[in-house]
Amino acid sequence: RESYFYSKFESTSFERQHGSKFVHHRQGLLPFDEKSFEALNNELSNLNITPGGSYTPTECQPKYKIAIIVPYRNREDNLKLFLKNIHPFLIKQKLEYSIFLIEPIQSIKFNRGLLLNIGFLESIQLGQDKWNCFVFHDVDLIPENEKNLYYCPALPKHMSSAVSTFDYRLPYKGLFGGVSILKKTHMQRINGFSNMYFGWGGEDDDLRKRNNLETGRYRMLKHKKDSPNPKRFKLLKSSIKRSNIDGLNSIRYVLISVNFEPLFTKIVVSYDESL
Ligand code: BGN
């Protein structure tokens, strides 16, 4: 029964629950006390990150070309700590990658699923179809274990199975939020995320239900709580029914701007809330 469950997706919690000889190589949180992006850019200037937050190793042919998609709004302190930590972490893994921040204009509600769909579609355009693997990454999560490899295994993978604020445990079986990894083909097959979850919560559970989906320790950064979306319970009930008509194939948004910042590509978008 359990092997059936785990055949549907991968998760770092597998290693823990099944007592593998997994050795923890912990990486402490690299602090960043300076206030400005200029100071941060300076601190990371020796890492050979190119504009847009891109990196390609020179000492080898990278096997994985990875788009890191980060839904974003109003969390500048988290963003600086995230960039300070994630770039050295990814570079050590010898990945070719770019970091894409997807931010809605201020007047509209946050919609994580929709923003991740936009990040998926726009990063493919900007990367001229070179990405074969997508990491959907919350800005408040910093990987603590450098053995947590950011690449696409055969199955979709939930990465953040052990987060500090949940006492390094899965709060419930089936959690797929925080950090997850899907191949391009996985995203296409399940029609991406639902576009219908405005406000906090539910969009990750919806995605998991689409594909019957389900590594590692993360430190969750401090920030103000978002207000949960009261409609998410009702929406989740129709998740499977909607999956063919609500997602990548139904998305409507306006691209406001694309900026290649030193440590990330910033994509500002707008969309309609009356879905
Ligand atoms: C769950 C949320 C997820 C969130 C996790 C962890 C919902 C749906 C209600 C049925 N799901 O409760 O979206 O990632 O908590 O914070 O709210």
Pocket test for ligand 1, best of 141, 204, 218, 220 (most atoms within 8 A of CB): 204
| Residue 216, helix vs strand vs coil | coil
Q: Which of 158, 170, 175 to mutate to test the pocket of ligand 1 (most atoms within 8 A of CB)?
A: 175
Q: Supply the ipTM of this predicted assembly.
A: 0.90
Evaluate: CB of 53 within 6 angstroms of ligand 1: no
Q: Ligand 1, closest atom to CA 178?
A: 14
pLDDT tens-place string over residues 73-83? 999 999 999 99
210: left (phi > 0), else alpha (psi -120 to 50), else beta?
A: alpha
Q: Which residue stretches of 212-271 are H helix?
A: 232-237, 239-242
The size of the chain, in residues, is 275
3-state secondary structure 19-75: CCCCCCCECCCCCCCCCCHHHHHHHCHHHCCECCCEECCCCCCCCCEEEEEEECCCC
Task: Give me the chain's average pLDDT, please.
Answer: 87
Cα gap 191→242, rounded to integer Å: 10
30-74 pLDDT, tens per residue?
887 777 999 999 999 999 999 999 999 999 999 889 999 999 999
Q: What is the pLDDT of residue 33?
A: 76
Query: How much of the chain exceeds pLDDT 90, in percent?
Result: 71
Closest residue by Cα to residue 212 from 235, 246, 189: 189
Q: Tell me: the pLDDT tens digits for 216-255? A: 557 788 898 888 999 999 999 998 889 889 999 999 999 9
CA of 201 to the centre of ligand 1 (A): 5
Which of 27-36, 55-64, 188-197, 264-273 comes out lowest in average pLDDT?
Answer: 27-36
Give the C-alpha separation, 158 to 175, whole Å: 8
| Position 213 confidence tier, pLDDT thresholds 50, 70, 90 | very low
Q: What is the Cα–Cα distance from 124 to 130, expressed in whole angstroms?
A: 7
Q: Which residue has a Cα nearest atom 4 of ligand 1?
A: 201
Pocket of ligand 1 contains residue 201 by CB under 6 Å: yes
217-220/162-163 β-pairing: parallel
How far does residue 246's CA lie from ligand 1's centre (Å)?
19
The C-alpha atoms of residue 81 and residue 272 are separated, in whole angstroms, by: 31
| Residue 243: φ, ψ to 5° | -60, -25
